[in-house]
Structure formats: structure tokens, C-alpha cells
């Protein structure tokens, strides 16, 4: 896949849903200004790894800036931050608003006085550090008498937003965003790009915010670890894009494997997962080479098995030779074992040498990662573990993602010998019937909406095509909750 050279992220400033006159305001807590940041990625590279090999430029970040009195806007801001993996900043008045301050029926109340005075600029407690790091800001606020609260004007005049994109959004019971967003334009330099504002009522769901963000087209690129459902890719912390769904080749013979990979590529799939221990790397390479699909559009993952760890450098060269490719998109250590740190460092060297683009781990969990990561230089781009509705790893997935590492699930359909039971589960089949799709599609879509890359295995061309057709529907929050409730902690393999 093509490497993403530019650093990007959408600066989202302020997602603040506050109701109008009929919603009782709530007094704010004592002011404390804090920007809640996404975790920094550890990219400590070996001395001989140059920026030409790994993208070491600082990733720009998304900022969600919001002002909220009742908590309505705050909730939506948090939704946006979760969806985008963005930093979040609450605009807190130096003098908090009391309920009496927000008494809209009292013409002399503080809020009414401010709104009637275009020059009013309520002071803000604290500030955003390193505002220059943000490219796009989502700015949220409640509607007060058809306008943005004057404290939003204070915020916009406190920073240089030159060259940035600002996306306003507001909350109110009945009025739309009106001119509240365009009235703010004059407060910023002409070089600011303004996206049309959006109004949300109280009780707006996270799903609705997801749809709104998806339609903003703020950037053609992904932020690290955030799934782009339009391009069907995710940006790895190594700077390369990877498809979010593809084909697993475990237990496929050479002939089956070659046919399956060919079927995947013909159907538009571009992600293939193999391993030394599968004994079909050669078949994968042959299918890729003979597909007619440009090599840089195909993403090939393979793995080193523990019996290769002691001689990992030679094993990497052997994988390249077996597949007949110039580079491997992603190589993983198959599972922990003796000399695993040594083997990982050999993969780091192979990255420096241009033989591998991204590296990661398979079957590493919280305890293993806690011990392993301090011993290596390059943060894994991906961790691949068993994940399906009966074994969900709900404690492990967020731990890995918070490290800036993408999660991929093997056995997404339960694994051989268990697929039938999983596909026949009444909860899953009921959701499938409601959407007019298969149970397999529901399970795979559930994974994607959890931020888990899927690599279902199949030798059936019809199933391969079906497993790629996941973007014509989405699961509601209620359906996601039903799927999450199926977790049994039931592991189907020993890794």
C-alpha cells in the first residue's frame, strides 16, 4: 500500500451541546483547563534507520474544543474525540456561570448582558498548549439567543488559527445553527477554512456524530489508528496505510491458497495474511505477482515462528525469497518465545534495510506487552490476537489501541470447528436478518466498528466476496451492545 508521507489529523475544536432556554443550566465545577491528549507514539528508532525508511515526522492532531454548561455539548465532544482519537479541550470560564447567570428570563442576567454586547469577551481559565500542532478544530457550543456564547469569541481571538480548518457545531432544542457559525468568521484570519456548521439536539447518539464526521471529508487521509471507512484503510504508526479487511490463509494448501488470494484480489480485496508455519508463503507470493494488481496496492503480512527466532535475519530473507517480493508490508512475531526480543530487533534492522515496511506482534497480551515493549526500539504497528464474539478481549483491545497500535483479529468467525455455532447464534442471526445481510457480515462489521482489522479465512470465492461487502450497512449502538454481551471468554486456540 502507498505510504502516507504527509502528517495529518483533523483539528476538532469544540463539540459543545448546550440546550436553550428550557434546559436547566448546571453550575460548572471550579475551573481547571486541561487538554486531554491521545497517547504519544513511541518511535525510538535504531541509529541506522533514516526518515526515508520510517516516517518520523510529528503527527498533527485533532482537537475538539468545546464550551458546555449543562453537559450536553460535553457528551458530544467526547463522542467526537473517541471517534477521531482526538485531543479534547474544555473552554472553561474564569468565572463560572451560575444558574442565575444563565436565567434567560432575567434581562439583567450575566448571559443575557453578554449576548447583547458584541464586544463582551468573558475570560477563559487556562489555554491550549501547542495550538500550532493542530490543523483542524471542531468547535462546539450551545446556542444562546441564536448566537454562539461570547466566550467562543474569546477563544477564537486567543490563538492564531491561520491555515487551519474550523468546524463549528452547536446544540439546541429547536433553533438551528443559523448564522452563529458565520458570525464567527470575522474573528479569524482570512486564511482559515471554515466548514459549514451543524446543529444537534439533546440526546444525539454517538452513531449520529460518527455519520456527521464521516461526511465532513476533513482530510483524505486517516489519523493513526483511526479507520477510514471511505478508503477502507487505517494508518499505521509506521506511516503506511493498511486495508482494514482481507483474507487469512491459515490451513490453506498451496493450491487453495493461490486460488483464494486470486479471488480476493479479483474482488477488490488487498490485505493478505500468511505465515512461515502455514507453509503457503510461496503460493501467496505467486498469486500476488500474477494478479496484475500493482505491488504497492497489495498489503502482505507474514510471520516468524519461534523456531526461527534464533536466526531471524536469515528467516526474513527466506520469506522474501519464497514469496518472490522485494519487500514485506508487515512482519509479525507469531507468538512469544525464546529469543523473541532478538528476533524483533532483527525485524527492526530489516526495516532499516528496506526489506520490511512495518513490524508487529501476534498473540501478545497485556502482560506480555508490558514486559516486551521497553526492550525494543520501534513500537509495533499492529498486534494480532484471537478476537470473535465469544472471545472479545475487551480489556486488551483498548490497552493496545491506547499505545497507538492497531489491533487485528484472527479467527473473527470463531475458527474451524466453531464457525457454525457462531453463525447460528440467535442474536447474531437476528441482527443479520434486520439488515438483510449474513451473520458473517454482521460479525465482521462489529469488529470494524470496534476498530479491529479482520482477516477471515476462506477458500470459497463467494464467501470471500461476501466478507468484503461490509460497507452498505452499519450496526446501531443497541446492536453493538447486543454483540458485546455475547462474550464468554471462550478461546478457541491455545495461543
- 119-131 pLDDT, tens digit each: 999 999 999 988 8
Query: How is residue 205 written as a grid cell?
Result: 447518539
Q: List all residues 6 or more positions away from 60 whose beta carbon is below 8 Å from its beta carbon.
A: 7, 8, 9, 11, 133, 134, 135
Instruction: Identify the burial level of 164 via C-beta atoms within 10 angstroms of its C-beta, where 0-12 means exposed, 13-18 middle and 19 or more buried.
Output: buried
Mark 32-50 as b/e (b = at least 16 C-beta within 10 Å): eeebeebeebbbebeeebe
- The overall average pLDDT reported for the chain is 86
| Predicted pLDDT of residue 214 | 85
Question: In which band, very low, low, confident or very high, does the pLDDT at 62 lie, cut at 50, 70 and 90?
Answer: confident
Residue range 35-221, CATH number: 3.40.50.360
Q: 228-484 falls under which CATH superfamily?
A: NADP-dependent oxidoreductase domain (3.20.20.100)
E strand intervals along 95-218: 134-142, 165-171, 193-194, 198-200
Catalytic annotation, residues: 278
Residues of the chain above pLDDT 70, percent: 85
CA 440, 446, 447, 451 torsion-angle sign: positive
| Predicted pLDDT of residue 5 | 35
Q: Which position has the higher pLDDT, 177 or 433?
A: 433
Task: Note the pLDDT tens digit of each residue in 265-301.
Answer: 999 999 999 999 999 999 999 999 999 999 999 999 9
Query: Given a cut of 50, is residue 13 above it in pLDDT?
Result: no
Task: Note the pLDDT tens digit of each residue in 208-228.
Answer: 999 998 888 765 444 788 898
When mean pLDDT is compared across 132-141, 242-251, 353-362, 429-438, the lowest value belongs to 132-141
Instruction: Name the segment(s) of the chain with CATH classification 3.40.50.360.
Output: 35-221
Task: Note the pLDDT tens digit of each residue in 223-247.
Answer: 788 898 889 999 999 989 999 999 9
| Helix count and strand count (H, E) for the chain | 15, 18
Task: Note the pLDDT tens digit of each residue in 64-105.
Answer: 999 998 888 999 999 999 888 889 999 999 999 999 999 988
Helix 426-435 crosses helix 477-484 at what angle (to 10 degrees)? Answer: 160
Amino acid at each position: 500500500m502507498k505510504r502516507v508521507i504527509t502528517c495529518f489529523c483533523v483539528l476538532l475544536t469544540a463539540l459543545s451541546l448546550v440546550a436553550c432556554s428550557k434546559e436547566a443550566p448546571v453550575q460548572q465545577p471550579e475551573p481547571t483547563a486541561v487538554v486531554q491528549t491521545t497517547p504519544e507514539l513511541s518511535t525510538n528508532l535504531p541509529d541506522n534507520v533514516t526518515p526515508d525508511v520510517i516516517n518520523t515526522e510529528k503527527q498533527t492532531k485533532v482537537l475538539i474544543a468545546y464550551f458546555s454548561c449543562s453537559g450536553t455539548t460535553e457528551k458530544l465532544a467526547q463522542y467526537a474525540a473517541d471517534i477521531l482519537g482526538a485531543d479534547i479541550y474544555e473552554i472553561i470560564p474564569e468565572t463560572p456561570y451560575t444558574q442565575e447567570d444563565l436565567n434567560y428570563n432575567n434581562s439583567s442576567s450575566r448571559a443575557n448582558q453578554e449576548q447583547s454586547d458584541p464586544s463582551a469577551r468573558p475570560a477563559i481559565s487556562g489555554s491550549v498548549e501547542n495550538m500550532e500542532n493542530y490543523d483542524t478544530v471542531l468547535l462546539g457550543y450551545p446556542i444562546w439567543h441564536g448566537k454562539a456564547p461570547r466566550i467562543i469569541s474569546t477563544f477564537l481571538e486567543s490563538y492564531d488559527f491561520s491555515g487551519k480548518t474550523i468546524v463549528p457545531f452547536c446544540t439546541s432544542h429547536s433553533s438551528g445553527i443559523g448564522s452563529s457559525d458565520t458570525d464567527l468568521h470575522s474573528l479569524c484570519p482570512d486564511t482559515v477554512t471554515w466548514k459549514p456548521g451543524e446543529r444537534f439536539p439533546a440526546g444525539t447518539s454517538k452513531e449520529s456524530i460518527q455519520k456527521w464526521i464521516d461526511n465532513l471529508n476533513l482530510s483524505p487521509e486517516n489519523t493513526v489508528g483511526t479507520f477510514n471507512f471511505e478508503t477502507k484503510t487505517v494508518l499505521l504508526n509506521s506511516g503506511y496505510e493498511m486495508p482494514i479487511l482481507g483474507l487469512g490463509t491459515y490451513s490453506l494448501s498451496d493450491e487453495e491458497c493461490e486460488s483464494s488470494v486470486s479471488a480476493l484480489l479479483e474482488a477488490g480485496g488487498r490485505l493478505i495474511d500468511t505465515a512461515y508455519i502455514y507453509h503457503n508463503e510461496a503460493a501467496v507470493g505467486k498469486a500476488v505477482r500474477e494478479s496484475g494488481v500493482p505491488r504497492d496496492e497489495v498489503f502482505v503480512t507474514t510471520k516468524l515462528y519461534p523456531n526461527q527466532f534464533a536466526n531471524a535475519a536469515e528467516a526474513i530473507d527466506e520469506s522474501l525469497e519464497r514469496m518472490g517480493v522485494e519487500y514485506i508490508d508487515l512482519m509479525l512475531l507469531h507468538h512469544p518465545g525464546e529469543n523473541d526480543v532478538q528476533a524483533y530487533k532483527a525485524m527492526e534492522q530489516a526495516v532499516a534495510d528496506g526489506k520490511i515496511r512495518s513490524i508487529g506482534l501476534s498473540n501478545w497480551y497485556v502482560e506480555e506487552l508490558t514486559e516486551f515493549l521497553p526492550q525494543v526500539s520501534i513500537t509495533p504497528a499492529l498486534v494480532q490476537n484471537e478476537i470473535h464474539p465469544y472471545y472479545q478481549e475487551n480489556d486488551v483491545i483498548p490497552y493496545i489501541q491506547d499505545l497507538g497500535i492497531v489491533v487485528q483479529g484472527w479467527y473473527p468467525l470463531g475458527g474451524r470447528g466453531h464457525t457454525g455455532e457462531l453463525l447460528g447464534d440467535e442474536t447474531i442471526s437476528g441482527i443479520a436478518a434486520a439488515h438483510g445481510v449474513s451473520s458473517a457480515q454482521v460479525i465482521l462489521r462489529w469488529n470494524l466498528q470496534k476498530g479491529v482489522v479482520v482477516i477471515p479465512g476462506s477458500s470459497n470465492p463467494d464467501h470471500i466476496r461476501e466478507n468484503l461487502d461490509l460497507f452498505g450497512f452499519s450496526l446501531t449502538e443497541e446492536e453493538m451492545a447486543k454483540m458485546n454481551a455475547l462474550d464468554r471468554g471462550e478461546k478457541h486456540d491455545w495461543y
